Amino acid sequence: DWTPAAFVQETIEKIKAQVGDKRVVMALSGGVDSTVAAELVHKAIGKNLFCIFVDNGLLRKDEYETVLESYKHMGLNVKGVNAKDLFYSQLNDVSDPEKKRKIIGRLFIEVFQHEAAQLTDIAFLGQGTIYPDVIESVSVNGPSVTIKSHHNVGGLPEKMNMQLVEPLRFLFKDEVRRVGREIGISEIFLGRHPFPGPGLAIRILGAITPEKVAMLQEADAIYIEGLREAGLYDKVWQAGTILLPVQSVGVMGDERTYEFTIALRAVTSTDGMTADWAHLPYEFLAKMSNDIINRVKGINRVVYDISSKPPATIEWE
């Protein structure tokens, strides 16, 4: 019988045996997997674990500061790296979704490697790889067509030439959450929706600018906070806002406006492979539309995405 308590104990012993008194470096994303994996390694080897958390400028509003603070609070030895400008400059004028993913993936690796190189005597690379990632990367390399080349922090290159420490490699997501609960990780980490590695870059259709990121962060924060307040956050599998590259006419007071549109997305799903659009209450959608249009400068229209997967995908890019 698999129990989180036994798993934790065994895994800590295994990590101790594998790593000994050597050092491990690990990238954190703020997501469930990397956080639980890091805390397990931390429990096993303490200050010999060095964590790196990169701000790519594409995270949710205040996410970088809040998450970094939580990591420090957990006692993790973590370095925050503000790389926003690098990401914005390299993404300048790039509209193609796959190009965005490739650039973000490459820059992430560059930043991580640069930071890791500042540390001395690192012998291992820790990763929050979980079982579905292992299966997925097999199918991704197969003959099937790549629909989206997923990038996330689980995908650091073999070329880093380090042995891997992957404590969650044989677990499914719900087991990771149970392990996280067992070792006292905050529900704020455990209960969060999935968030794509390329972040808001794939929720800004067309070219990315820091101004567009700021606009989308505001709209997203209103929506996510609204879902929480209405008790809907835990009822959907994932939710977010998308900034469309469309301007349309509106009226504010007695002025004509010509501004952008935000699409709201919320889906129910069990694994993200298929998904239904969430039937959110009209009253809730009405409130979100008002709040976003009134509070986010540059937005004069809000629409709700009523497409399921397939044939649509969860993200718009």
Residue 31 in marked binding region: yes
Contact 292, 219 (CB under 8 A): yes
Which residues in the 271-310 window bind ligand XMP by CB under 6 A? 272, 309
> Can you tell me the distance from the alpha carbon of 22 to that of 210, in angstroms, rounded to the nearest whole number?
40
Residue 203 binding ligand XMP, by CB under 6 A:
no
Residue 35 in marked binding region: yes
Residue 101 binding ligand XMP, by CB under 6 A:
yes
Which residues neighbour 299 within 8 Å (Cβ) at sequence distance 6 or greater?
A: 215, 219, 259, 260, 261, 262, 292, 293
Q: Report which secondary-structure segment, H or E, holds 240.
A: strand 238-252
> Can you tell me the distance from the alpha carbon of 154 to that of 26, in angstroms, rounded to the nearest whole number?
10
Q: Which two tokens stand for residue 86?
A: 């690098």
Residue 213 in marked binding region: no
Which residues in the 106-125 window bind ligand XMP by CB under 6 A? none
Which residues neighbour 269 within 8 Å (Cβ) at sequence distance 6 or greater?
A: 237, 238, 275, 276, 309, 314
Q: In this chain, which of 79, 150, 169, 192 binds ligand XMP, going by CB under 6 A? A: 150
Nearer to ligand XMP, 23 or 148 (CB): 148
Residue 61 binding ligand XMP, by CB under 6 A:
no
**Minimum distance from CB of 220 to ligand XMP (Å)?**
13
- Reduced to 3 states (helix: H, G, I; strand: E, B; else coil), residue 21 is coil
Which residues in the 228-257 window bind ligand XMP by CB under 6 A? 238
Residue 34 binding ligand XMP, by CB under 6 A:
no
Binding site, annotated residues for ATP: 29-35
- Contacts to ligand XMP by CB under 6 A: 101, 148, 150-152, 194, 196-198, 238, 272, 309, 313-315
Binding site, annotated residues: 29-35
